[in-house]
Amino acid sequence: MRRASRSGAACLVLAAASLLTAFAVDVGTARAADVEQFSISGEIDGLYPGFVGTLPVVLRSESSRPLRVTQVHVRVSDAGPGCPATMLSVADTDLHLVLEPNVQTVVPVEVRMVRTAPDTCRGATFALAFTGAGSVEREAHTSLPATGANATELAMLGAALLAVGLLLIVRVRTR
């Protein structure tokens, strides 16, 4: 009877080790070499005091992997003497967008010109500088790093060992 109990305990230990190993799959820490980029551009015409409209911001992936874009920020510079950047506001945009490799997409961003802007701002050209935030979309790993072991199969093995261990322990205790 002790032998079956020890076998059950051993199966439980192996099951726990298998399951823990399966769930300790490579989570992928970012390294400088992993940093991928996307480009941001956009322009808008026909501005006038009181204007409210949409700036079509173009996001273009320059990555070989999907990118999760989370934010776009547009900084406005003066259009010239008499038309300061404070006359034009561009909304910061929080996104939940996955940008596929080598693809571009357009994101609408709200633009407003102050109603009290001087007439020199009518039709003016403001320089826009774009920045964005995001990360490389994490890929699902089906194998364990450095071992080649399949994480799903290892988890299934762990579950099976867990079941066998429990059955052996229950069997010993019911005798």
How many folded domains does the chain comprise?
2
pLDDT of 120 reads 94
What digits encode the pLDDT tens for the residues 100-132? Answer: 888 899 999 999 999 999 999 999 999 999 988
* Whole-structure pTM value: 0.58
What digits encode the pLDDT tens for the residues 37-71? Answer: 788 999 988 999 999 999 999 999 888 888 888 89
> Same domain, yes or no, for 50 and 132?
yes
> Same domain, yes or no, for 50 and 6?
no
Q: Would the pLDDT of 20 be above 90?
A: no
> Same domain, yes or no, for 53 and 121?
yes
> Same domain, yes or no, for 92 and 148?
no
- The CATH number that applies at residue 101 is 2.60.40
> Same domain, yes or no, for 19 and 51?
no
What digits encode the pLDDT tens for the residues 131-159? Answer: 888 887 765 545 555 455 555 665 666 66
Give the residue numbers spanning the domain of 21: 2-25+141-174
> Same domain, yes or no, for 131 and 146?
no
Helix (H, G, I), strand (E, B) or coil at 7: helix
